[in-house]
Chains A and B, each alone.
Chain A
Amino acid sequence: MTTRHDTAAPPEKGGAAPGRPPGDAVSPEAARKRARLSRRWQRDMRWSPYAFVAPFFVFFAAFGLFPLIYTGWASLHSVELTAPTDMAWTGLDNYTRIFDDDFFWNAAKNTLTIGIISTVPQLMMAMGLAHILNYKLRGSTFYRVIMLAPYATSIAAAALVFVLLFGRDYGMINWVLDSVGLGKVDWQNDKWASQFAVSSIVIWRWTGYNALIYLAAMQAIPQDLYESAALDGASRWRQFIHVTLPALRPTILFTVVVSTIGASQLFGEPLLFDANKGASGGGQHQFQTLGLYLYEQGWVNQHLGRASAIAWTMFLILIVIGLVNYVISRRLRASS
Chain B
Amino acid sequence: MTTTLTKPPAEPVSEPPRRRRRSKASRAGGQLHAGPIAYIILALFTLGSLFPLVWTAIAASRDNQRLAQTPPPLWFGSNLFDKLEIAWTDANMGEAILNTTIVAGISSATVVFMATIAGFAFAKLKFRGRNALMLVVVGTMMVPPQLSVIPLYMMVAELDWSDQLQAVIFPSLVSAFGVFFMRQYLLQALPDEIIEAARVDGASSWRVIWHVVFPTARPAMAVLGMLTFVQVWNDFLWPFLVLTQNGNPTVQVAVAGLGRGFTPDQALIMAGALLGTLPLLLVFAIFGKQIVGGIMQGAVKG
A interface residues, Cβ below 8 angstroms from B:
1-2, 4-5, 10-11, 13-16, 41, 44-46, 48-53, 55-57, 59-60, 62-64, 66-68, 70-71, 74, 79, 84-85, 128-129, 132-137, 141, 143-165, 169-172, 175, 178-179, 204, 207-209, 212-213, 215-221, 223-224, 226-227, 229-231, 234, 236, 239, 251, 254, 257, 261, 264-265, 267-268, 271-272, 277, 291, 298-299, 304, 307-308, 311-312, 314-315, 318, 322
With a cutoff of 8 Å between Cβ atoms, the chain A residues found around residue B114 in the complex are: 55-56, 59
With a cutoff of 8 Å between Cβ atoms, the chain B residues found around residue A2 in the complex are: 126-128
A15 to B201, CA, bound (A): 6
A52 to B121, CA, bound (A): 6
Q: Quick check: A160 and B50 within 8 Å, CB to CB?
A: no
Q: Quick check: A63 and B299 within 8 Å, CB to CB?
A: no
Q: A216-B299, A311-B149, A315-B143 are in contact. List 16 more A-B contacts (CB 8 A).
A: A46-B127, A63-B171, A64-B140, A84-B158, A135-B30, A143-B42, A147-B46, A153-B52, A155-B252, A161-B52, A164-B59, A204-B48, A226-B29, A265-B144, A268-B237, A318-B144
Q: Quick check: B284 and A155 within 8 Å, CB to CB?
A: no
Q: Is B10 an interface residue (CB 8 A)?
A: no
Q: Quick check: A268 and B236 within 8 Å, CB to CB?
A: yes
Q: Quick check: B270 and A160 within 8 Å, CB to CB?
A: yes
A231 touching B299 in the complex, CB below 8 Å, given contacts A50-B127, A157-B56, A219-B30: no
With a cutoff of 8 Å between Cβ atoms, the chain B residues found around residue A227 in the complex are: 21, 24-25, 28-29
Instruction: List CB contacts (< 8 Å) of B27-84 with chain A.
Output: 27-34, 38, 41-42, 45-46, 48-50, 52-53, 55-56, 59, 67-72
With a cutoff of 8 Å between Cβ atoms, the chain B residues found around residue A219 in the complex are: 30, 296
Q: Quick check: B115 and A56 within 8 Å, CB to CB?
A: yes
Q: Quick check: B143 and A68 within 8 Å, CB to CB?
A: yes
Q: Is B117 an interface residue (CB 8 A)?
A: yes
Q: Is B297 an interface residue (CB 8 A)?
A: yes
With a cutoff of 8 Å between Cβ atoms, the chain A residues found around residue B206 in the complex are: 48
CB<8 Å pairs between A and B, sample of 17 = A13-B200, A48-B205, A52-B117, A55-B114, A60-B174, A62-B170, A135-B33, A154-B233, A155-B236, A157-B255, A160-B258, A161-B273, A172-B55, A207-B45, A223-B29, A230-B27, A264-B144
Q: Quick check: A298 and B150 within 8 Å, CB to CB?
A: yes
Partner of B259, one of A62, A156, A170, A322: A156
